[in-house]
Structures are given as C-alpha cells and as structure tokens.
Amino acid sequence: MTGKTHQKMLEKYAEAIVKVGLNIRAGQRLIITLGATRGVPHQFAPLVREISKAAYAAGAKYVDAIFADEEMLRLRVQNAPWDSFQEYPKWQIQALLNMIENGDAMLSIAGSNPDLLGGLDTEFVGNMQRTHLENWGPISEKVTTNAINWCVVAAAGEAWAQKIFPDLSSKKAQEKLWEAIFQTTRIDQPDPIAAWEKHIVSLRERARHLQVKQYTGLYYKAPGTDFTLGLPNGHLWISAQSLAQNGIAFTANMPTEEVFTLPDRNRADGVISATFPLSYSGTLIEDFQVTFENGRIIKVTAKKGEAALQKLVDTDEGSQRLGEVALVPASSPIGQRGHLFYNTLFDENASCHIAIGRAYRFTLTGGTELNDEEFISAGGNVSLNHVDFMIGSPQMDIDGIRKDGSREPVMRSGEWAFKL
Ligand code: ZN
Ligand code: ZN
C-alpha cells in the first residue's frame, strides 16, 4: 500500500469511528485514551489526528487525547521501589469521570505492545495491574452501564504487528495488520458507512430472534466440550449498536460480529475447551479446559500458562464465574483469517466465546438501575476482571433450551442454524 492510499484509508477509518462507532453529536467533547497503558502510544498520533478532524467535522466542540509512553510502564516495574505499586495517577480518573458526567464521548485505541511487561517480576506486574483495575473501577462501571457513547478500535502498533506476523519485516508486518484492520472493519468496502449500517441491521435481527425465543439456557457440544449454561430471566440479547444513557446510539466495538447476553452466574455445568489461546496480562494460555459446577469454576487445566489462568480465576469471587455469553459464526471475517490477533477486540469476533468475570448491566432488563447486590441476585456477576475466551469452532453445535426443557438448534457446525 502506498503512503497516499494508507492516508486515504486512515481518513475513511476515522470517519467510520466518529460516525458509526461514537456517533459524535454536535457540542460533545471527545477524550481519546487507553486504560491498561494509561494512555495512547505516541505511534498512534496519525490516527488520533484524523479522528480529531473527523470529530470536529461532526460538530465536536473539544477533542483531546491522553498520550503515554509504553516504555515508561516497563521502566517503572524495573526501577520503582518494590512497595510503590499502589501509586496511581488518580487525576486521570477524575478527569475522565468529569467528562462522563458531562455526557461526553470516550474512545480507546487498542494495539499497544502485547508483551510490554513480558519477562518482568510477575508479582510487581500483578500488583500494578490490580491497582489499575481498582482505580479504573468507577470508569468501568460507567462504561459497562453505557453512561455515554464510547468505542474501542485498533491501530496497527509496531510490536503488536510483529507478534502476529513474526516472519515479516517490521514495516511489512504493520502494513499487513493495517490491511487486516481495514478489512475486518469494512473500511476496504466502497462505502464503509453503508456497509456498517447493513451489518448492524443483520446483527440486530439475530439478536431479536434470540430475544423472542426466551431460552432458559444454552447447550454446547464440540470436541472437548460438553457444557450447559443458564440464561436468567430478563436477559437481553445485545448486538453491535447500543443506546447510551446520554441518548446517543453508538457501536462500542469496531470490528464487531457478536450477539451476546447475560449468563446466569449460578448455572454453568460441565467442561468447556478453549479453541484459541488466551493472551492474559502478558502470558499466553494455551490448550486449556475449564470445568464448572453450579456456575462456579472448580478446575482449570492448560498445556501452557496454567498458573496465569489459575491466578485470573483466583482474583476475586466473581472471577470464578461467567459474565458474558456471545455467539459468533465460525465464518466471520475475523475467523476466516485463521490467525490469532493476540487482542480480544479481534479474537473475540473470530468465534463463539464466554467471559470470566464482570457482566454488563445492560444485558439484563433494568440492570443499569440495580446495585451490585441486586444485580447478583438477578443472576448477574461482579468482578474486577472481564476476560473473554474463545470456545467456538466449525465443530461446535449449540442448542437453545426452552422453558419445558426441550432443545432446538441455534448453531450447527459453527454456523447459525436458523434463518431470518
Ligand atoms: Zn464478547
Ligand atoms: Zn467480553
């Protein structure tokens, strides 16, 4: 791709992010940031600038970004005093909460170095991560209740690209990753905005069909998987587009291929096998199985990274239970690419998945009005974590379980089993 073509694609991407992802309204402010590394890496500045232009063109009154140097995070773990990992830039949280309370928009750009903290002292990294999750809690809560229009997109970070395409030169790897991003976010189509509108409608129709069915649970069968989960009363099937509490319809993830809802925290039984490795806080967890009883994880096994998986499950009570169930056909544009992205935004859209930990309030009728206790007693889950892992494959069959206990096909051989 020539420099000029890439620039044109970046402009189209920025336009889709502003119009479809955030759906910026005239008079809104926009803050661009990234949770885990406390800011957008400087290498994403060209995209951030295009997004600013597109946001002002859409009527935004103020656009800003919190940039950060990734390397500084690594330097901190290597050099800061051992007892200093409770330190946190709380001023950032205040600033973000202030914008959220004002009804402004928030954008995250994924794509930083997935191995940034690899090989460092796991206890220091773990403490730092925990401090981050605890401080970030109030922001997570606002985001998971859709207080404002928000969106997560990706940029082809250098280290990330190299991890996905290790055999290519750094430059070629980044080009190839941009190509993948533009393809899976439909930016390579003649009219990306129109393509998104069509995609959003088709996902909404799938969600509506499942909503009308009112299944009480789902049954999964695949090699290494024999698993049943419950769907609580009032569960809501959600797809690409949501309505924020500030009244704006937005698309939280680009790409997105999933239709998802709330699993019952107390009803999950059997064994489920992951079909993709899970990249979790710098460790790759491979070939793993999770066993559930009455909603609780009672056993995890993994060929690689078992300790990291166990650590995730042991974070808190909610990390022993599920918070999301999502259906994605194996033929999705991301699944078809046939390689791991080492990033949830992409990998979760490659196949059916479930998430360990925190549930989204908006996946339960009236859920955003409930406090933690009420949400939990309705079947919802509360946790510091929300970690998706992939379970779907072209070998997977899923049945919907009706109120009378009978079942009907929802997916067969990894594809939708019902017509719209
Ligand atoms: Zn999901
Ligand atoms: Zn998720």
- One-letter-per-residue 3-state SS of the chain: CCHHHHHHHHHHHHHHHHHHHHCCCCCCEEEEECCCCCCEEHHHHHHHHHHHHHHHHCCCCEEEECEECHHHHHHHHHHCCCCCCCCCCHHHHHHHHHHHHCCCEEEEEECCCCCCCCCCCHHHHHHHHHHHHHHHHHHHHHHHCCCCCEEEEECCCHHHHHHHCCCCCHHHHHHHHHHHHHHHCCCCCCCHHHHHHHHHHHHHHHHHHHHHHCCCEEEEEECCEEEEEECCCCECCECCEEECCCCCEEECECCCCCEEECCCCCCEEEEEECCCCEEECCEEEEEEEEEEECCEEEEEEEEECHHHHHHHHCCCHHHHCEEEEEECCCCCHHHHHCCCCCCHHHHCCCCCEEEEECCCHHHECCHHHCCHHHHHHCCCCCCCCEEEEECCCCCCEEEEECCCCCEEEEEECCEECCCC
| pLDDT band, very low/low/confident/very high, at 34 (cuts 50, 70, 90) | confident
**112 in the same domain as 175:** yes
In a domain, 170, yes or no: yes
The alpha carbon of 323 and the centre of ligand 2 are apart by a number of angstroms equal to: 8
In a domain, 156, yes or no: yes
**405 in the same domain as 281:** yes
The alpha carbon of 59 and the centre of ligand 1 are apart by a number of angstroms equal to: 31
Q: For residues 301 and 197, what is the distance between their CA atoms, to the nearest angstrom?
A: 41
Which of 255, 148, 262, 266 shows the shortest CA–CA distance to 207? 262
**285 in the same domain as 206:** yes
The alpha carbon of 19 and the centre of ligand 2 are apart by a number of angstroms equal to: 23
User: Does the structure show a pLDDT above 70 at 286?
Assistant: yes
In a domain, 244, yes or no: no
Summarize the confidence of residues 253-274 as an average pLDDT.
98
The alpha carbon of 358 and the centre of ligand 2 are apart by a number of angstroms equal to: 9
Ligand nearest to the CA of 356: 2
Ligand nearest to the CA of 381: 2
The alpha carbon of 267 and the centre of ligand 2 are apart by a number of angstroms equal to: 18
Partners of 217 in the β-ladder: 230, 401
User: Does the structure show a pLDDT above 80 at 186?
Assistant: yes
The alpha carbon of 278 and the centre of ligand 1 are apart by a number of angstroms equal to: 14
From 184, 209, 229, give the residue that closes a domain: 184
Q: Which of 43-57, 116-130, 204-218, 365-379 shows the lowest per-residue confidence on average (mean pLDDT)?
A: 116-130
The alpha carbon of 62 and the centre of ligand 1 are apart by a number of angstroms equal to: 31
In a domain, 7, yes or no: yes
Strands laid side by side in the 62-65 sheet: 62-65, 29-33, 105-110, 150-154
Ligand nearest to the CA of 353: 1
Percent of the chain with pLDDT over 70: 99
Q: For residues 158 and 169, what is the distance between their CA atoms, to the nearest angstrom?
A: 10
In a domain, 250, yes or no: no
The alpha carbon of 327 and the centre of ligand 1 are apart by a number of angstroms equal to: 8
The alpha carbon of 239 and the centre of ligand 1 are apart by a number of angstroms equal to: 10
The alpha carbon of 258 and the centre of ligand 1 are apart by a number of angstroms equal to: 6
- CA distances 35 to 80, 118, 132, 149, 349, Å, are 21, 18, 8, 16, 21
The alpha carbon of 388 and the centre of ligand 2 are apart by a number of angstroms equal to: 5
**205 in the same domain as 170:** no
Determine the pLDDT at residue 344: 85
Determine the pLDDT at residue 218: 98
pLDDT tens for residues 69-98? 989 999 999 999 999 999 999 998 999 999
Ligand nearest to the CA of 238: 1
**341 in the same domain as 315:** yes
The alpha carbon of 79 and the centre of ligand 2 are apart by a number of angstroms equal to: 34
**381 in the same domain as 262:** yes
**389 in the same domain as 297:** yes
Q: For residues 234 and 379, what is the distance between their CA atoms, to the nearest angstrom?
A: 10
**221 in the same domain as 177:** no
The alpha carbon of 362 and the centre of ligand 2 are apart by a number of angstroms equal to: 13
The alpha carbon of 355 and the centre of ligand 2 are apart by a number of angstroms equal to: 5
pLDDT tens for residues 99-143? 999 999 999 999 988 888 888 888 888 888 889 989 998 998 898
Q: Which domain holds residue 353?
A: 192-239+255-416
The alpha carbon of 335 and the centre of ligand 1 are apart by a number of angstroms equal to: 14
Q: Which two tokens stand for residue 269?
A: 């039984």
| pLDDT band, very low/low/confident/very high, at 281 (cuts 50, 70, 90) | confident
The alpha carbon of 384 and the centre of ligand 1 are apart by a number of angstroms equal to: 16
Q: For residues 53 and 43, what is the distance between their CA atoms, to the nearest angstrom?
A: 18
pLDDT tens for residues 201-210? 999 999 999 9
- CA distances 179 to 36, 156, 163, 212, 295, Å, are 25, 9, 16, 38, 40
The alpha carbon of 395 and the centre of ligand 2 are apart by a number of angstroms equal to: 22
Determine the pLDDT at residue 1: 64
In a domain, 248, yes or no: no
Burial of 99 (0-12, 13-18, 19+ CB in 10 A): buried
Q: Which of 10-24, 71-85, 122-136, 258-272 shows the lowest per-residue confidence on average (mean pLDDT)?
A: 122-136
Summarize the confidence of residues 174-195 as an average pLDDT.
97
| pLDDT band, very low/low/confident/very high, at 37 (cuts 50, 70, 90) | low
In a domain, 322, yes or no: yes
Ligand nearest to the CA of 386: 2
Count of domains observed in the chain: 2
The alpha carbon of 205 and the centre of ligand 2 are apart by a number of angstroms equal to: 20
Question: 357 and 384 in contact (C-beta within 8 Å)?
Answer: yes
The alpha carbon of 7 and the centre of ligand 1 are apart by a number of angstroms equal to: 30
**180 in the same domain as 197:** no
Partners of 356 in the β-ladder: 322, 387
Percent of the chain with pLDDT over 90: 83
My answer on whether omega of the bond before 329 falls inside 30° of 0, hence cis, is no
- Cα Rg, the chain, nearest whole Å: 21
The alpha carbon of 360 and the centre of ligand 2 are apart by a number of angstroms equal to: 9
The alpha carbon of 2 and the centre of ligand 1 are apart by a number of angstroms equal to: 34
The alpha carbon of 314 and the centre of ligand 1 are apart by a number of angstroms equal to: 21
- CA distances 122 to 118, 119, 376, Å, are 9, 8, 31
**98 in the same domain as 21:** yes
pLDDT tens for residues 233-248? 999 999 999 999 999 9
In a domain, 247, yes or no: no
* Domain containing residue 116: CATH number: 3.40.1830.10
**210 in the same domain as 153:** no
The alpha carbon of 343 and the centre of ligand 2 are apart by a number of angstroms equal to: 12
**196 in the same domain as 54:** no
- CA distances 187 to 17, 22, 49, 242, Å, are 10, 16, 18, 21
> CB 53: neighbour CB atoms within 10 A?
14
The alpha carbon of 361 and the centre of ligand 1 are apart by a number of angstroms equal to: 14
Q: HSE on the CB side for 201, CA within 13 Å?
A: 6
414: left (phi over 0), alpha (psi -120 to 50) or beta: left
Q: Which two tokens stand for residue 219?
A: 């049954």
Ligand nearest to the CA of 387: 2
